[in-house]
Chains A and B, each alone.
Chain A
Amino acid sequence: MTKLTKITAGILIALLVLGLGAELALGWMAYQRLTQAGDTLNSLREENVSLREELSGLHEEVAALIAQAQEPEDPAQEDGVRIAGEYMIRSTLPISDAYRSGDSSALSDKGKETLRMAADILESIITPEMDDYEKEEAVYIWMTENLNQDEGLLPVIPRTQADCDNPYGVLKYHNAVCVGYATTFRLFMQMLDIPCMVVHNSECYHSWDLVQLGGGWYHTDIYSDAGSSSFMHFNLTDSMQGSSQSWNTDFFPPACQTEYCYAYRSSVQETDLYRIPAALRQAIDDQSGLMALRFTEMDETGARIAEMMLNDIQNRIEYSALSNALYIYWNWMPLDQGWLLSVNLNWYNQGEEPEPEELPDEVYEKIQEAVEDAFGDMPEGYDWDSEEDLDWEEAHDWHGGYGK
C-alpha cells in the first residue's frame, strides 16, 4: 500500500467516523426535537381538551341565556295574549256593550249569534233579586255543568278545535280550552255589569278570571273546576291562586279580600289543630272539593305540626287505592285574626265509567254453554296461572280439523 493510499484511506476512515458521529449527533438532536415536539403536541392536545371543556361550559351558559331570552314574554296586557302558542285572548267588550245598550247593529253575524246565545243563558239562570255574588255563582255553576274541557291543549303539539278559545265556539259547541272558559265568563260578567278581567300566567300556558265584588278582586278559574262544580277555584285570593300559578302582579289588581272568598265563606272555626285529619277524612268521604278551617291562633310550632299531619295524609293517599283518583294540596292564608287553612281535593277520575255490576251465575252458565256448543271441538283457553306446562300439540290438535 503506497503512502498516498494509506493517507487516503485514513482520510476516508476519518470522514466515515466523522460522518457517523455527525449522523449520530444529528439523530440524537432530531430525537430530542421530536420528543420536545411530541411533548408540545401533547400539551397542545391537553390545552385543546380543556378549551373544549371550557367551550362546552360556555355553550351551556349561552344556552341558558338563550332559553331565558326565548321564554314566552309576559305582556302587561289583558287581551291580545296568546296562550300555549295557540289560543288568543280577545276582547269581548263589543258583545257585552251591545247587550247593555240593546244595539247589536255594529256586531258581525258571529257576534250577533254569540250575543243571542249568551243572553238566552243569562235569562235562564239569573233572577232580578240576585246580588252580584249570586249572579257570579249562577254563571259558575252553569259553566262547570254545561261546558266540557277541550283537551286539545295537553298534547305536546296542541290540537286546535274550532273556536274553542272564544265565547262563540264555547257557547255553540260547549267545548272550551282555558281561554274559552275565561273569555266566556268575562263576557257574562261584563253583560251583568260586574267588572272582570282575563288573567294569563307568567309562562302564558293558562288563563283564568279576576272578578270584582264589593270593591275587592277575586280569582275564579272555571276551567280547573269544569265538570265538578267543586268551587275549588272559585273566588280565591292572591295567596291561594299563587300556590299554583304566577302572573304579572304589577299589571293585574291585587286580590286580598276574603269577604267573597269561597274558602273563607265555607270555612269552619277550629281551635284544635289535631282535628285537621278528622275534618279532612270527612271531606274525602263526602267527596268534597274543598276543606277549609280557620285558626285564630297559630304559632310556628303549630304550623309545623299541621304541615306534618297534612304531609302524612298526602303520603297515605298516595299509597292507597285513592292514589289514582285524588290529589290534595293546601294553602295557608293570613287573616286579620289568625290563619285560614284551605285544602283542595282534586278528584280527577270522577268522569270514569263505574265498574259494571256482577252478572248472575246463570248468565255465565249460558255463555259457557253457547260457546261450548259452537266451539266444543277446540280446547279451552290455557290457564296461564297453572304450574303445568302447556302441551302445544294437544292445544293445536283442533287445527287439524280446521280447514280440512
Chain B
Amino acid sequence: MKRVLFGLLAAVLLLAGCAAPITPTENEPMVSMYDLRTAMLAKDPSLPEMTAVSSSDENAGELFGYLSDLDYEKVEGYFLAYASDGMAYEIAVVALKDAADLPALEASLKAHVQGRVNLYKTYAPEQVAKAQAAEIVSRGRYAALIMCGDQNAVKAAFEESVQ
C-alpha cells in the first residue's frame, strides 16, 4: 500500500518537477525593430544622417556580419543604424532566439567596437574618444550597442522598449 502511495506521490512530484521552470520558457514576441530604432534614434537630436539596415533586409544575414560575428541562426531580429559619413555614431539592437547566447553576442559587439576604435585611430583620430565611450547594454534576450551623443537618453529608450 505504502509503495503504491509513494509511487503515486513520486509521480505527483515528477509531474510537479516537469511543470517547474527549469527548462527555458517560451520567448515573448520580439518587439518591432523598426519601432525600436525609431524610438531610440529620436532620443538623440545630435545624430547626423544615419543609414539603417535590419533583419528585414533581403541580405540581412550578410549585413549582420558587419556588426557581429555571432552565428546569424541565433538571431531573431536586429537593426543597425550608423552615420552615413562614417563618423562615430552607431546604434544597434540584436534580439536573440535564446538568451543563453547573450554573453557571446556581447563579446562580439565589444570586438566590433574595438575594431571601430582601431579604424578611427588610423583614419579619423578625432572620433576615437567617442567610439571608446560606446556602451553595450543588455536586457533579457536583447543587447544594444550605443555610440552617440546622448547615450543615456538612447539607453533609457531601449530599456523602456524591451521591458
Q: Please choose the segment from A147-155, A257-265, A287-295, A305-313 that sits at the chain B interface, where 4 or more of its residues have CB less than 8 A away.
A: A147-155
Within 8 A of B (CB), among A61-103: 62-64, 66-67, 70, 84
6 A-B pairs with the lowest CB-CB distances in the bound complex, closest first: A154-B86, A63-B104, A156-B82, A63-B107, A155-B86, A60-B103
- Complex interface: chain A residues within 8 A of B100 (CB): 52, 55-56, 59
A173 at interface by CB-CB < 8 Å = no
CA distance A26 to B3 in the complex (A): 11
A30 at interface by CB-CB < 8 Å = yes
CA distance A56 to B16 in the complex (A): 27
Whether A34 lies near B9 (C-beta < 8 A) is yes
CA distance A29 to B5 in the complex (A): 11
Whether B13 lies near A37 (C-beta < 8 A) is yes
CA distance A272 to B145 in the complex (A): 48
- Complex interface: chain A residues within 8 A of B22 (CB): 44-45, 48
- Complex interface: chain A residues within 8 A of B116 (CB): 156
CB A101 to nearest CB in B, in angstroms, measures: 37
Within 8 A of A (CB), among B37-52: 51
Give which listed residue, B85, B103, B119, contacts A59 with CB less than 8 A.
B103
- Complex interface: chain B residues within 8 A of A151 (CB): 85-86
| Residues 321-333 of chain A, each 1 if its beta carbon lies under 8 Å from chain B, else 0 | 0001001000000
A205 at interface by CB-CB < 8 Å = yes
- Complex interface: chain B residues within 8 A of A155 (CB): 51, 82-86
B136 at interface by CB-CB < 8 Å = no
CB B66 to nearest CB in A, in angstroms, measures: 5
A346 at interface by CB-CB < 8 Å = yes
| Residues 54-92 of chain B, each 1 if its beta carbon lies under 8 Å from chain A, else 0 | 000000000100110110000000001011111100100
Whether A157 lies near B82 (C-beta < 8 A) is yes
CA distance A224 to B2 in the complex (A): 85
CA distance A259 to B87 in the complex (A): 38
Whether A206 lies near B122 (C-beta < 8 A) is yes
